[in-house]
């Protein structure tokens, strides 16, 4: 049976495919950072999410606590993040990015989006405008539970 919303279904399909190919295209660049995708993603959340609780980080990464424990431990060992105790709750540990972590992420990010940036810059002005104009809708569709109250969409996290 055909879906009830043929236009929406067709759009969903194209969007899905486009997202896959987009990421495939960008993923290659991440290798240069020397970090795996999960580590890069966690580092990104730590860099932009300020000092963050390991539990919160796990939720943000959609991963179970033990997984985060290990990833953060390894990032700490690499000198990219530091773990500090929570002053209010002794059970909690908060992860913060070190200067090195920040730098590494920044360089990786630059590299990663460089190709995409060029592709977008090369678009005819009208098409570029069309793409940019649709970004907020796309973001909403992509993340249903996006922070509504937060003033800015920020979150440049590369995810994984």
Partner DNA sequence: CATATTACTTAGCTTAGCTAAACAAACTAC
Partner DNA sequence: GTAGTTTGTTTAGCTAAGCTAAGTAATATG
Which residue's entry shows tokens 């909403």?
A: 140
9: partner contacted, choices a copy of itself, DNA, none (Cβ within 5-8 A by kind): a copy of itself
67: partner contacted, choices DNA, a copy of itself, none (Cβ within 5-8 A by kind): DNA
98: partner contacted, choices DNA, a copy of itself, none (Cβ within 5-8 A by kind): none
112 three-class SS: helix
Q: Around 89, how many Cα atoms within 13 Å sit in the side-chain half-sphere? A: 6
With beta carbons less than 8 A apart as the criterion, state whether 107 and 158 touch. Answer: no
With beta carbons less than 8 A apart as the criterion, state whether 153 and 37 touch. Answer: no
Identity of the residue, 29 or 131, whose beta carbon is nearer to DNA in the bound complex: 29
Of the residues 63, 78, 82, 96, which one makes contact with DNA according to CB under 7 A: 63
Give min distance, CB of 86 to a copy of itself, in A: 28
The per-residue b/e assignment along 124-158, b for 16 or more CB within 10 angstroms, e otherwise, is eeeeeeeeeeeeeeeeeeeeeeeeeeeeeeebebb
The yes or no reply on residue 64 touching DNA (CB under 7 A) is yes
Give min distance, CB of 67 to DNA, in A: 4
Of 59-67, 97-105, 110-118, 134-142, the window that binds DNA (rule: CB under 7 A) is 59-67
Of 7-15, 71-79, 105-113, 114-122, the window that binds DNA (rule: CB under 7 A) is 71-79
CA distance 64 to 58: 6
Residues that bind DNA (CB under 7 A): 36-39, 53-56, 58, 61-74, 83, 86, 89-94, 160
């Amino acid at each position: 049976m055909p879906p009830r919303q043929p236009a929406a279904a067709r759009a969903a399909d194209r969007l899905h495919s486009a997202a896959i190919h987009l990421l495939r295209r960008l993923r290659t660049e991440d290798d240069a950072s020397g970090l795996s995708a999960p580590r890069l993603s966690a580092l990104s959340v730590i860099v932009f999410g300020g000092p963050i609780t390991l539990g919160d980080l796990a939720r943000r990464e959609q991963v179970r606590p033990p997984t985060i424990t290990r990833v953060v431990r390894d990032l700490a060992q690499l000198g990219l993040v530091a773990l500090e105790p929570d002053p209010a709750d002794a059970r909690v540990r908060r992860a913060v990015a070190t200067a090195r972590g920040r730098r590494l992420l920044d360089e990786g990010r630059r590299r990663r989006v460089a190709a995409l940036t060029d592709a977008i810059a090369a678009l005819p002005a009208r098409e570029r405008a069309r793409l940019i104009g649709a970004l907020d809708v796309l973001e909403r569709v992509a993340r249903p539970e996006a922070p509504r109250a937060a003033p800015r969409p920020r979150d440049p996290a590369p995810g994984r």
